Copies of this chain bind each other. A is one copy, B any other.
Amino acid sequence: MTKKLISAPLPTLKRLPRYLHILQDLKAKGIKQVSATIIAEELGIDSIQVRKDLSTTGIIGKPKIGFELNELIDHIVHFLNWDNMTDAFLVGLGGLGKAILGYDNFKNYGLNIVAAFDTDPELLDTKVHCVGVFDIKKLEDLAQRMKIHIGVLTVPVSAAQEVAEKMVAGGIKAIWNFAPVKLKLPDNIIIENVFLSQSLGVLTHRLAQLKNTEA
């Protein structure tokens, strides 16, 4: 039986991977128990928030003691579904696509990229970071046959919508989108965008602000 995964507020969901990083550090140091206070201090946030976030994963702590480290890690990992490796396709072997393929750590995050796609004839039927590269024409058919549910989209903006539609046609249910464009897809498709310009905008705005207040 699979435990039911109850959802959480988006901000909570985004903090969970950060807790996990800390916890795995502590585990490597041989620590067995941890309190919300410790985690909070490490991340510079409020301990009440940590406690509330952790409770959404279903973990039960012990007053005065805190949480069993291994048990807590398991709960977070399960909540994020990182205990089940999910196969994925990646489309677009530009710099970013290659970087993601080469970043082994995503295996710790439940993501297993099993094939890559591009239009560049030079790349077809080669391997990049041990992953086979195929023509985009084969995407839909292969996705269906291999029952792929996650697509990583690292193509230029101009191709993003078209490729995303092919992913959906192939039965892909969730798209990790790195192209700075709003994908127009059916409502039941999960889209998670990584827009680097957002993050950079925050940085440059704040830096300008800082310089203005200094001047």
Inter-subunit contact B84/A17 (CB<8 Å):
no
Within 8 A of B (CB), among A1-46: 2, 4-5, 7, 10, 13-18, 20-21, 42-44
Binds B, one of A64-72, A105-113, A118-126, A131-139: A105-113
Q: Are A205 and B96 in contact (CB under 8 A)?
A: no
Q: How far is the CA of A14 from the CA of B203 in the complex (A)?
A: 10
Residues of A in contact, count (CB < 8 Å):
64
Q: Which residues of chain B come closer than 8 Å to A17, judged between CB atoms?
A: 180, 195, 197-198, 200-201
B194:A206 contact, CB within 8 angstroms = no
* Residue in B closest to A20 when the chains form the complex, CB atoms: B197
Q: Which residues of B contact A182 (CB under 8 A)?
A: 18, 42-44
CA A163 to CA B208, docked complex, whole Å: 23
Does A114 sit at the interface, judged by CB under 8 A? no
Which of B15, B173, B201, B212 has a CB less than 8 Å from the CB of A207?
Answer: B173
Residues in B with CB closer than 8 Å to A55 are none
- In contact, B81 and A205 (Cβ under 8 angstroms): yes
Choice from B5, B10, B173, B195 contacting A212 with Cβ under 8 Å:
B5
- Name the one of B13, B86, B174, B204 contacting A201, with C-beta atoms under 8 angstroms: B13
Q: By the criterion CB–CB under 8 Å, are B99 and A201 in contact?
A: no
Residues of chain B within 8 A (CB-CB) of A42 are: 182
Q: Which of A70-95 contact B (CB under 8 A)?
A: 79-82, 84, 86, 94-95
Selected A-B contacts with CB under 8 Å, 16 pairs? A2-B212, A10-B202, A13-B202, A14-B201, A15-B198, A21-B197, A95-B99, A95-B100, A96-B99, A99-B99, A149-B207, A188-B210, A190-B203, A190-B206, A192-B206, A193-B199
**Which are the 3 A-B pairs with shortest beta-carbon distances?**
A95-B99, A81-B208, A17-B197
